[in-house]
Amino acid sequence: MTKASRRTAGGATAALVLLAAAAGCGPPPAPAAADRPESAERRAAGGETRQPATPAAAEQADASNEAAPSRCDEQCARRIADAAKILDRARAVTDARFRAAQLKGAGDRFVAAWRGCDLRVPGGADLGCAGAGSLPLRMSEAYAEAGRDDGLIFAYLVAIDPRWRLSESPTADKAPAELARIAERAEQQARAQPAAHGADAALAAAAHARLALGDPGLAAQDAALYTKAYGRSRAEEVALLGVAIARHHVDRGDWQRALEALSPAAGPAGNADLRVKLLWHATRGRALAGLGRGAQADQAFGQVVQLWRPPDPSKPAQSIGHDVPAPMLGREEVLDAVGAAFFFAAERTRERAAEPAVPAYSGPASVKAVNEHVKTKIARWAAERHKRVVQASEAYRKVTELRPVPPVRWVVAATARMGELWADFADAFGGAAVPAPVAADTELAAQWKQATTEASRPLLAKARTAFEACRKAAQHGAVRDEHAERCERWLSEHPAP
């Protein structure tokens, strides 16, 4: 091959590098603040984080919060101490009915302390606040003395909640046996005295206890009994029980049983509470997606996206709830449901991002023709692929930008997908078939190989940024699923240069 031809071929490979460099431009895939823990600046009234108006302001606020001493652990200790004082005063009351009411109030104050601090955040600073270790025990004491089985079940659910991080406590050790005992008692009372005070709340809590103990069959029996006894006046609770059972099956990949738990007859009414609708439609969407019923899943997730409105930073409980009906269906799970909807919506864009394939060369055996192929067909392909990857990345980014706190498992999933998008783009460049006129010459083939390697680097850099964000979020949130494993595997197979 002549020197002029080699220079022409060299121009083609150089053009390939420039094309990839251009394709690597665009917004970084790493989420804004998605892989960070909640700020320590919590609100004393509700335990929520006030979000700055813009992402840039959020970055500055987080930086200042990390630099300033945290006050939240002090708030946590104060709330627990205040609840303990109320419990002590309630125990001194002689009137039985008034005493029971005061004891329930003390239990509610312990719940408020738990919900109002960072106690449920993995690695949260408040875990070391004074009284945190005894909070489930004091909560259970208050509700037990008040005769409130629903609250007592709640206390034991808190004790075994993996987010609590104090599972070695005596309360957690005895929680499974106590949950089974109290659930059976609540079930018996609901059958014998359904109109008794608190029987309905205790039965609903019993269903959650059965799920926590890994027995969805008994939970379904409780839900059926609840529907028969209280369904007319407690329609939203019926819907939430269905959601809880369905979520149990969804998390285990039992899609059909999940769908069966979400009977349309027991679904939320049009005037139902917003969080009930969000949980219902998102869970149904996940079951339908698992069954491969994509169109119906899209419809269910579309309902969630349509219904969702970011809460007022000063009043987040208005749209995502504060304390109903049990730990596994509190505000985190509403955001988890919304995160699932946005994630699955983004999955549709990912399917398009992988298309079209790199155009294969089919021209004459001349380097000039190869050069023209790179500058036209591959250039158009790179621009289109880049556009689709960016669009898909932005769709996944919506998961990481949910407020007040993005749901950690879907942040992990979304950032993993973002990494895959860029990694697949890079692989498409590197795996492109070498045109025959180039492959026929050893020197030109080496130049092509070097060019495709260089072309992949800016794309791999974006993939690394996303996968590292995924790893950090997974470590912080103690997420160990297939998405977290994929991020770890890619990072181990592609060590930083």
Q: 73 or 246: whose pLDDT is higher?
A: 246
pLDDT tens figures, 144-166? 999 999 999 999 988 887 665 55
| pLDDT recorded at residue 16 | 55
Q: Is the dihedral of CA 174, 224, 146, 142 positive or negative?
A: positive
Residue 412 structure tokens: 């992990």
Give the mean model confidence (pLDDT) for residues 133-153: 91
| pLDDT recorded at residue 399 | 94
| pLDDT recorded at residue 140 | 93
- Which pTM was predicted? 0.76
Q: 133 or 461: whose pLDDT is higher?
A: 461
pLDDT tens figures, 151-208? 999 999 888 876 655 545 677 888 899 999 999 999 999 999 999 999 999 999 999 9
State how far the Cα of 433 lies from the Cα of 435, in Å rounded to an integer.
Answer: 6
State the CB neighbour count (10 A cutoff) for residue 66. 12
In 335-399 the beta strands, taken as DSSP E runs, fall at: none
Query: Which of 369, 362, 378, 351 is closest to 20 using CA atoms?
Result: 378
Q: Is the dihedral of CA 134, 135, 138, 143 positive or negative?
A: negative
Query: Which of 169, 324, 148, 301 is closest to 236 using CA atoms?
Result: 324
Give the mean model confidence (pLDDT) for residues 132-143: 88
| pLDDT recorded at residue 358 | 83
**Given a cut of 70, is residue 411 above it in pLDDT?**
yes
HSE-CB of 492 using CA atoms within 13 angstroms: 6
**Given a cut of 60, is residue 15 above it in pLDDT?**
no
**Given a cut of 90, is residue 282 above it in pLDDT?**
yes
State how far the Cα of 80 lies from the Cα of 100, in Å rounded to an integer.
Answer: 20
Give the mean model confidence (pLDDT) for residues 344-350: 90
State how far the Cα of 109 lies from the Cα of 319, in Å rounded to an integer.
Answer: 22
State the CB neighbour count (10 A cutoff) for residue 90. 21
State how far the Cα of 284 lies from the Cα of 352, in Å rounded to an integer.
Answer: 24
Q: 159 or 99: whose pLDDT is higher?
A: 99
Residue 348 structure tokens: 């549709």
Contacts for 176 with CB less than 8 Å, ≥ 6 apart: 160, 213
Q: 114 or 303: whose pLDDT is higher?
A: 303
| pLDDT recorded at residue 359 | 84
Best mean pLDDT range from 275-279, 359-363, 442-446, 470-474: 470-474
Task: Give 296's pLDDT tier (boundaries 50, 70, 90).
Answer: very high
Sort 63 into a burial class: Cβ within 10 Å, 0-12 / 13-18 / 19+: exposed
Residue 87 structure tokens: 């419990």
pLDDT tens figures, 53-95? 333 333 333 333 333 334 566 788 888 999 999 999 999 999 9
User: Quick one: what percent of the chain has pLDDT higher than 90?
Assistant: 45
Query: Which of 258, 257, 276, 260 is closest to 268 using CA atoms?
Result: 276
Q: Which of 161-170, 383-392, 422-431 shows the lowest mean pLDDT across its residues?
A: 161-170
Sort 27 into a burial class: Cβ within 10 Å, 0-12 / 13-18 / 19+: exposed
State how far the Cα of 233 lies from the Cα of 204, in Å rounded to an integer.
Answer: 14
**Given a cut of 50, is residue 48 above it in pLDDT?**
no
User: Quick one: what percent of the chain has pLDDT higher than 70?
Assistant: 77
pLDDT tens figures, 452-483? 788 788 999 999 999 999 999 999 888 889 99
| pLDDT recorded at residue 10 | 54
